[in-house]
Amino acid sequence: MTIRVLFVCLGNICRSPTAEGVFASLVNTNAVFSDSAGTGAWHVGEPPDKRSQAAAKRQGIDLSGQRARQVTKQDFHDFDHILAMDSSNLAALERMQPAGAKAKLGLLLDHHPDTELKDVPDPYYEDGFDTVFQLVKRACDGLAKDLKV
């Protein structure tokens, strides 16, 4: 059975495309389907931010084929796990979740083995793209272990 995992941030151009690219590189893509989306719609249709693409490329991960989209209600039926990059996006997902939908909601960093942080910092206005990459990478390693994929 394919496990379906959706990574969610605000703009879907920095943190969640990074998580999706990293996670897809770690797992058997026959056993796992992953995607990413944003709670906001400002960047729909755009490729990931150049700075995220560069940070990922330095670690051998290509994000260039991804395009931003917004989370839909259907996602809560289609995905087994929806992992938010921070608490405010998790709260937005909890408000959107339709009754009876199967998706389990959570925070990506709850799968990180060794951080006190709950939220992946938003690098869009702040920079720190390599730090975000490393945080997301270790959390995705933990997620792959936790899901046994």
Q: Which residues are catalytic?
A: 9, 15, 122
Output DSSP code: residue 118: S
Tokens 């994929």 correspond to: 149
Helix (H, G, I), strand (E, B) or coil at 55: helix
For the chain, the C-alpha Rg in angstroms (whole number) is: 14
Nearest to 34 by CA among 55, 61, 13, 8: 8
Single out the residue of 42, 94, 113, 134 in contact with ligand 4NP (rule: CB under 6 A): 42
78/125 Cα distance (integer angstroms):
32
Q: Does 137 bind ligand 4NP (CB under 6 A)?
A: no
Closer by beta carbon to ligand 4NP, 31 or else 42: 42
Closer by beta carbon to ligand 4NP, 65 or else 100: 65
Q: Does 122 bind ligand 4NP (CB under 6 A)?
A: yes
Stretch near ligand 4NP under the rule CB under 6 A, chosen from 5-13, 26-34, 57-65, 133-141 = 5-13
Positions that interact with ligand 4NP (CB under 6 A): 9-15, 42, 122, 124
